[in-house]
Amino acid sequence: MRGVWTTDRVRAAEQRAFTRVPESRLMRAAAFAVAGEVAALLAERTGGVAGRRVALLVGAGNNGGDALWAGAFLRRRGVAVTAVLLAPERAHAEGLAALRRAGGRVGTELVEADVVVDGIVGLSARGPLRPDAAALVERVSAPIVAVDLPSGADPDTGAIEGPAVHAEVTVTFGGRKPVHVVGPGAIASGWVRVVDIGLGAELGEPDAVLLDRAEVARAWPVPGPTDDKYSQGVTGVAAGSATYPGAAVLASGAAVLATSGLVRYAGTAAEVVRTRWPESVATGSVTDAGRVQSWVVGPGLGTGKAGRGVVAEVLGAGVPVCVDADAITLLAADPALWDARDPDTPVVLTPHDREFARIAGEVGSDRIGATRQAARTLGAVVLLKGNSTVVAAPDGRVLVNQARSAWPATAGSGDVLSGLIGALLASGMDPWLAAGCAAHVHELAAEIAADGAPAPASHIVDAIPAAIRSVRAS
Ligand SMILES: NC(=O)C1=CN([C@@H]2O[C@H](COP(=O)(O)OP(=O)(O)OC[C@H]3O[C@@H](n4cnc5c(N)ncnc54)[C@H](OP(=O)(O)O)[C@@H]3O)[C@@H](O)[C@H]2O)[C@@H](O)CC1
Ligand SMILES: [K+]
């Protein structure tokens, strides 16, 4: 798992590292990596490095120092470097001297450049770009390499509440920060390159993790020679209605394709589900469904009395439950429904922002913090949907699944995700990991289904086997 650390943690690691390595050496290591990335981008965009032009946007702190040192390294490769100082009297003195020694130019006006380096602000960033920096960034048309993070984005939340840099590449040090993985900052970061400048060992346990594809592959249930349809887990799906059977078909289909376990559908869309997924066992009610190892409840269920009864029944069934869509709305409107919950069985809630607001208050700008808090308060795994999906467990663990495209954002897509989660819960997987693995495969299936053009949720279901195959081949 790749880690994500908040700025407090990075600062603490930095202080520990300074007892072994002088600050200036860490800065030069950071700057050297930035220079390498700038040279690679120059070569990719212009076919060469020597003789190309780079402008450095330099703020008042060490982020600007990194940029100035990177400029000095680029001079050695024959690049024409001009530093634009936003706060000339506070620019990093050593970095400035190094750039001047190497033959770099220094000014306060933006010049024509093939690549621009954003050294305006890094870990000490507060709020959006200030007007002078914003005016400068607005005039940049060349691709930008951001030092540590795109200036104007909040390092700890990825929130962008005004003008900000939108980078092609971000070079960061030691480990990812929340800005690189969540919120608009994750998009503004562009491609993120993490460089270990000697901080890695000092960082300790991460605040959040990103699941690697290989980890999803290892966790995904694969039947062994002694397994049968029951030992792989039986997923119950309580979703959809006779009038709106779509959600039932999508959630059941996702569960059918996710594992080799059995799927039992319970609800008024039984006829349609049985026709579309003949391998499932479809009955009219939860009471008649028989034994299951997990329930998925909510998609297309409706928010009336009948839906309420179904939610109460599955919450009291003594098996893990994935609570989605209408079931979340029902729980929010009637907290007494929680009383039906078996306290020993895990619940995974899968809200989008509006559902989250109903059950746990407005998400706000700190998506990781809000999800972690909700998981603790509700005593449930909470999966907050979004461009980056955040999954928090009641014990404080957080994982982030970053989308590579926006294709999953389509009608019915959430029904597919809940079916996948339900099947993994039935297999006995840790609920937090189950939600993370399901989000990963869901996103990949959407990408495969889309293949560059919009794909409806039913095609996302059909792409699940290809997504699992692709994950397992990694
Ligand atoms: N961690 C590590 O191990 C290593 C870290 N290193 C590097 O150090 C960087 C952190 O440097 P840092 O702490 O000196 O401050 P930094 O981020 O440059 O900010 C400078 C000043 O900008 C201002 N400012 C604030 N908000 C603003 C805004 N929105 N728009 C415009 N300006 C704004 C504010 O000044 P103010 O005007 O408020 O006094 C602030 O003090 C880190 O990101 C990495 O690049 C590497 O060198 C080596 C290893
Ligand atoms: K920056």
Q: What is the pLDDT of residue 150?
A: 98
- Asked if residue 66 has its Cβ within 6 Å of ligand 1, the reply is yes
Residue in this structure with the two tokens 């559908």, named with its chain if needed: 265
Summarize the annotated binding site as residue ranges.
Answer: 62-66, 118, 122-128, 148, 151, 247, 300, 352, 385-389, 414-415
Q: What is the mean pLDDT of residues 146-157?
A: 98
173: CA distance to ligand 1 center in Å? 13
Pairing mode, strands 208-210 and 398-402: parallel
Mean pLDDT over 229-242 rounds to 91
Testing ligand 1's pocket by substitution, the residue of 21, 94, 124 carrying the most ligand atoms inside 8 A of its CB is: 124
Task: Give pLDDT, residue 186.
Answer: 96
What's the confidence (pLDDT) of residue 199? 87
User: How far is C-alpha 132 from the geometric centre of its chain's CA atoms?
Assistant: 32
CA–centroid distance, residue 104 to ligand 2 (Å): 20
Q: How far is the CA of 443 from the centre of ligand 2 (A)?
A: 29
Which ligand 1 atom sits nearest the alpha carbon of residue 10?
1
Interval 42-64 mean pLDDT: 98
Cα(22) to ligand 2 centroid in Å equals: 22
- Average pLDDT over every residue of 168-193: 97
Give CATH for domain 2-210. 3.40.50.10260
Which residue has tokens 């800005």? 179
Res 29 pLDDT > 90: yes
Ligand closest to CA 165: 2
- Helix ranges (DSSP H) in 19-91: 23-46, 62-76
Binding positions for AMP are 385-389, 414
User: What topology is assigned to 213-472 in CATH?
Assistant: UDP-N-acetylmuramoyl-L-alanine:D-glutamate ligase (3.40.1190)
Ligand in nearest proximity to the CA of 22: 1
pLDDT at position 406 is 81
Its sign, for the CA torsion 362, 367, 373, 376, is: positive
Mean pLDDT computed over every residue of the chain: 96
| CA dist., res. 212 & res. 106, Å (int) | 43
Q: How far is the CA of 107 from the centre of ligand 2 (A)?
A: 19
Residue 259 has pLDDT above 80, yes or no: yes
What pLDDT score does 170 carry?
A: 98
pLDDT at 263 over 90: yes
Domain ranges of the chain: 2-210, 213-472
pLDDT for 474 equals: 87
What SS3 class is residue 364?
Answer: coil
pLDDT over 80 at 90, yes or no: yes
Task: Indicate the annotated binding residues for K(+).
Answer: 63, 118, 151
Ligand 1 neighbour 215 (Cβ under 6 A): no
Sign of the Cα pseudo-torsion (349, 250, 183, 194, in order): positive
Name the pairing type of β-strands 294-297 and 262-266: unpaired
Q: For residue 407, what pLDDT is reported?
A: 80
Per-residue pLDDT for 201 more than 90? no
Instruction: State the pLDDT confidence band at 458, using cuts at 50, 70 and 90.
Output: very high
pTM: predicted TM-score of the whole model, two decimal places: 0.96
Q: How far is the CA of 146 from the centre of ligand 2 (A)?
A: 5
* Across 374-385, average pLDDT: 98
Nearest CA owner, ligand 1 atom 48:
27
Nearest to 262 by CA among 412, 416, 422: 422
Nearest CA residue ID for atom 37, ligand 1: 60
- pLDDT tens digits for range 297-314: 999 999 999 999 999 999
Which of 142-146, 178-182, 341-345, 421-425 is predicted with the least confidence, judged by mean pLDDT?
341-345
Closest-approaching ligand to the CA atom of 59 = 1
Give the angle 288-294-295 at the CA atoms, nearest 5°: 60
pLDDT digits (tens, 9 = 90+) for 98-131: 999 999 999 989 999 999 999 999 999 999 999 9
What is the SS3 assignment for 58? strand
CB 199 near ligand 1, within 6 Å: yes
Going by pLDDT thresholds of 50, 70 and 90, the confidence category of residue 187 is very high
Asked whether residue 50 carries a pLDDT value surpassing 90, the answer given is yes
Residue-wise pLDDT for 388-401, tens only, equals 999 999 999 999 99
Pocket test for ligand 1, best of 6, 10, 15, 62 (most atoms within 8 A of CB): 62
ipTM: 0.97
pLDDT for position 249: 98
Strands across the sheet containing 105-107: 105-107, 80-85, 53-58, 115-119, 144-147, 169-173, 191-195
pLDDT category, 244, cuts 50, 70, 90? confident
- Which residue among 20, 121, 160, 165 has the greatest number of ligand 1 atoms within 8 angstroms of its CB, and so is best to mutate? 121
Q: E-assigned strands of 239-325? A: 262-266, 281-283, 294-297, 321-323
pLDDT at position 194: 97
Determine contact, residues 84/109, Cβ cutoff 8 Å: yes
Question: How many angstroms does the Cα of residue 155 sit away from the middle of ligand 1?
Answer: 11
Distances (CA, A) of 210 to 216, 245, 347, 461: 11, 35, 22, 24
At 278, the pLDDT band (50, 70, 90 cuts) reads: very high
Give the per-residue pLDDT at 171: 98
Q: Which atom of ligand 1 is nearest to the CA of 127?
A: 29
H helix and E strand count, the chain: 18, 18
- With a cut of 90, say whether residue 225 has pLDDT above it: no
